[in-house]
Structure 1
Amino acid sequence: MFEIRDAILADELDAIGGLPTPASYRAVLVRKDEQDLFAGLPTRDKDPRKSLHVEEVPTPELGPGEALVAVMASSVNYNTVWTSIFEPVSTFGFLERYGRLHDLARRHDLPYHVVGSDLAGVVLRVGSGVNRWKPGDEVVAHCLSVELEDPAGHDDTMLDPQQRIWGFETNFGGLAELALVKSNQLMPKPAHLTWEEAAAPGLVNSTAYRQLVSPNGANMKQGDVVLIWGASGGLGSYATQMALNGGAIPVCVVSSPEKAAIVRTMGAELVIDRSAEGYAFWSDEHTQDPREWQRLGKRIRELTGGDDADIVFEHPGRETFGASVYVAKRGGTIVTCASTSGFQHTYDNRYLWMNLKRIIGSHFANYKEAWEANRLIDRGLVHPTLSKVYPMADVGQAAYDVHRNLHQGKVGVLTLAPEEGLGVRDAEKRARHLTAINRFRGV
């Protein structure tokens, strides 16, 4: 691994293909024999620092249509938190079911799970049948792993019955020195970004693109009022940028004055600090308060000059979903993913059916959508929202920050890269966008 890292740092990428494949590598993982570690504890008290381990693991066999990538940097997503706290289910069930699919998939069913659904790095090896990519290519990876042997997947790969999220429902994820991906997960690394910056957008940027922009999601148009929950967070920060770029009118919901200031630096003008304004959508654990829905709807109309939300960008889930359905305009759209505050949603269906609203479920993105989202990053139209970077040894703390919402934007993790700031190829483009690239840093 040191030879590979040193070749990358020395810009000797043509030599990468001639270096031997390491027999093992360091990876962030959870252990199958610890999947009951947090049994009986409430979600908030489950601590990723206790369950995420950095260990040496064997390098997996490379199969047809796959690539082995030397990972310079990765990032923490909420699915890493779910994996680390074994909630709502242990991910080892995913690996067991995948392992039964065919002989090559059996590699994934192991007593440990290497996690992580983002990476930026350099292609080390490619399997048979891979023509677009070669050793030495600088890449990022999106997290859709799909078998593509079912006709259902050939219209939209997210509808393939064997669609999985790499590093969550598969093994050999990106929080490691090496990662195993399918070649159709790879995309060009934006040349003006560092390794850690390039690793940050993948999952959330692609998810926001499908959820908000794509015809498979809300199909946002110019002039749409878009209510964005958690607008300074890992997902919402990209939705906010896309709404502004697309001529929409974002109404950004945040939870502190500091977060309100961040979204304003992105260009958002309509901001609701839900903590300062005291919104409490549940009067107790079992009862929602429709008066708070009404108060939120009134506040949105005050900010927009009388308009309700055409689109509600919904991802908190249980805590906010009743309010989201209520405040969407007549004929409006609630597009939902993630459910980070709980998967069991309760809402008053009268406001949905009688006002002809729609709920659209959205999950990650297909290759085309992920490629378009990455192109926005590469063109400098959407920027990474990286706020803090940890070394791989401290990945438990990074996941803890995300779990406890102590972060802004995205939290990065250095894997092979020895320090921040490396990997920039286009300094001129970077200089044009440096203020926006660093918008979240140190917040």
Structure 2
Amino acid sequence: MTQLGEIQQAILTGESAAVGSLPVPESYRGVTVHADEVDMFEGLESRDKDPRKSLHVDDVPVPELGPGEALVAVMASAINYNTVWTSIFEPIPTFKFLKKYGKLSPLAKRHDLPYHVVGSDLSGVVLRTGAGVHNWKPGDEVVAHCLNVELEGPDGHNDTMLDTEQRIWGFETNFGGLAEIALVKANQLMPKPDHLTWEEAASPGLVNSTAYRQLVSRNGADMKQGDVVLIWGASGGLGSYATQYALNGGAIPVCVVSSPEKAAICRKLGAELIIDRSAEGYRFWKNDDEQDPKEWQRFGAKIRELTGGEDPDIVFEHPGRETFGASVYAARKGGTIVTCASTSGYMHQYDNRYLWMNLKRIIGSHFANYRESWEANRLIAKGLIHPTLSKTYPLEETGQAALDVHRNAHQGKVGVLALAPEEGLGVRDEEKRAKHIEGINAFRGA
């Protein structure tokens, strides 16, 4: 049996604590992009770029373990849109991030390689910890949040997201979670919810924390009971958590989806006010250069029809260019548009009169700090928020998993198994799981 096989066997037989006495292998399998292939999609439209061609499963060396860091045996991971961006080399190849990071210090130089091991989610077991790590030990079952910070300057000590050296692990750093072993900082680690399988526990990470900060945190929209919250892509990776936070926090979600199947998922979560934008035929752009304010007005009227005459207090934005003009228009007077992404394009256009004359606010929100991520994971562990995993692929088929997300042919989150040989493993509290099984499985088979 290989060294990695021994580690896997110890975890699968419930002897995770034993991994600390087992040798760490010299190499592992990781999902990579290659620096010499960054031009492979040149001339193609974004939608035509195929992650199956650029994402590889390679045998790569285990990186050196530095102070304040941990090596984790990865049981499962998940796909986020940043892996799609990485795979199609947009908006820039991630090797530029790695090269810049590599100049920071001799330790950071490890990340500047001709290959990039990607992935910003994981669940697994701590293998080793570096000098100065006190809260975690080999054998601990963990999930990881994807904020990588240095915290040597003052800016990040009020909110670590403002650290001058803040990066997203597995996107702007190397040795990510779509692999059999990952390298993280110890302040990325959080306890694995004990009622979830490995793949379920891995899937909330990035999107759950992002939605928490964007909607619930004081750093985001600071949602309160009774707020009307317009949620774009309400059955997707981000939106599915926003919908749960709105319902769990006493707000009123208005879920925007693109099919009857996605509407059905939102209803399963407990949402009642749903707009199927495809069925309604909204076309917010007349052409590539001009938006259609009449469509904004028609959209706003539909929202008021559903809410009994109320406009959204909060608009949960992430599509970007395609929807941003409608979002600014639709928010109520004094309302908030909070944005964390631009999956349909970064160059937003909106009519500023609707913003300044109606005292609206646009808030930028990016991922989450450790405290926010910890709180978001705590809610998962308590069964108040549930994973939105719909489908899981083996590590070898990560390219197909990323293509599903790229083409929006998925619901919720798409998981990837690493050292876990099959789905359904890793549950430590069957009684708690039984209480929440309906919520846990809400997206399964969708």
When the two structures are superposed, what TM-score results if normalisation uses the length of structure 1? 1.00
Hey, what does 2:60 align to over in structure 1? Answer: 57
SS in 2 for 1:282: coil
Residue 288, structure 1, aligned to residue 291, structure 2: yes
For residue 263 of structure 2, the aligned residue among 255, 260, 267 is: 260
Separation in structure 2 between the aligned mates of residue 268 and residue 343 of structure 1, nearest angstrom: 29
For residue 133 of structure 2, the aligned residue among 116, 130, 135 is: 130
Hey, what does 1:381 align to over in structure 2? Answer: 384
Separation in structure 2 between the aligned mates of residue 61 and residue 390 of structure 1, nearest angstrom: 29
Hey, what does 1:12 align to over in structure 2? Answer: 15
Letter in 2 for 1:200: S
Separation in structure 2 between the aligned mates of residue 14 and residue 385 of structure 1, nearest angstrom: 29
Separation in structure 1 between the aligned mates of residue 354 and residue 317 of structure 2, nearest angstrom: 16
Hey, what does 1:325 align to over in structure 2? Answer: 328
In structure 1, stretches of 5+ residues that fail to align are none
Hey, what does 1:67 align to over in structure 2? Answer: 70
Separation in structure 2 between the aligned mates of residue 118 and residue 338 of structure 1, nearest angstrom: 18
Equivalent residue runs for 1:44-443 within 5 Å: 44-443=47-446
TM superposition shift of 1:338? 1.3
TM superposition shift of 1:168? 0.1
Separation in structure 2 between the aligned mates of residue 161 and residue 403 of structure 1, nearest angstrom: 30
Separation in structure 2 between the aligned mates of residue 240 and residue 376 of structure 1, nearest angstrom: 14
Letter in 2 for 1:41: L
Separation in structure 1 between the aligned mates of residue 323 and residue 313 of structure 2, nearest angstrom: 17
Separation in structure 1 between the aligned mates of residue 411 and residue 393 of structure 2, nearest angstrom: 14
Separation in structure 1 between the aligned mates of residue 231 and residue 15 of structure 2, nearest angstrom: 44
TM superposition shift of 1:285? 1.0
Residues paired across the two proteins, number: 443
Letter in 1 for 2:164: P
Residues 275-307 of structure 1, C-alpha deviations (whole Å, 9 max, x = no match): 001011011111110001000110111100010
TM superposition shift of 1:315? 0.2
Separation in structure 2 between the aligned mates of residue 155 and residue 251 of structure 1, nearest angstrom: 33
Separation in structure 2 between the aligned mates of residue 343 and residue 235 of structure 1, nearest angstrom: 18
Q: CA RMSD in A?
A: 0.4
Separation in structure 1 between the aligned mates of residue 234 and residue 193 of structure 2, nearest angstrom: 24
Residue identity (%):
79
SS in 2 for 1:233: coil
SS in 2 for 1:113: strand
Runs of at least 4 residues of structure 1 off by over 4 A? none
SS in 2 for 1:369: helix
Hey, what does 1:37 align to over in structure 2? Answer: 40
SS in 2 for 1:3: helix
Letter in 2 for 1:403: H
Letter in 1 for 2:271: A
SS in 2 for 1:238: helix
Letter in 1 for 2:130: G
Separation in structure 2 between the aligned mates of residue 340 and residue 315 of structure 1, nearest angstrom: 7
Letter in 1 for 2:377: N
Separation in structure 2 between the aligned mates of residue 18 and residue 287 of structure 1, nearest angstrom: 63
TM superposition shift of 1:14? 2.0
TM superposition shift of 1:363? 0.1
Separation in structure 1 between the aligned mates of residue 194 and residue 85 of structure 2, nearest angstrom: 32
Letter in 2 for 1:73: A
Letter in 2 for 1:322: G
TM superposition shift of 1:40? 1.1
In structure 2, stretches of 5+ residues that fail to align are none
Letter in 2 for 1:337: C
TM superposition shift of 1:15? 1.1
SS in 2 for 1:148: coil
Hey, what does 1:25 align to over in structure 2? Answer: 28
Letter in 1 for 2:210: T
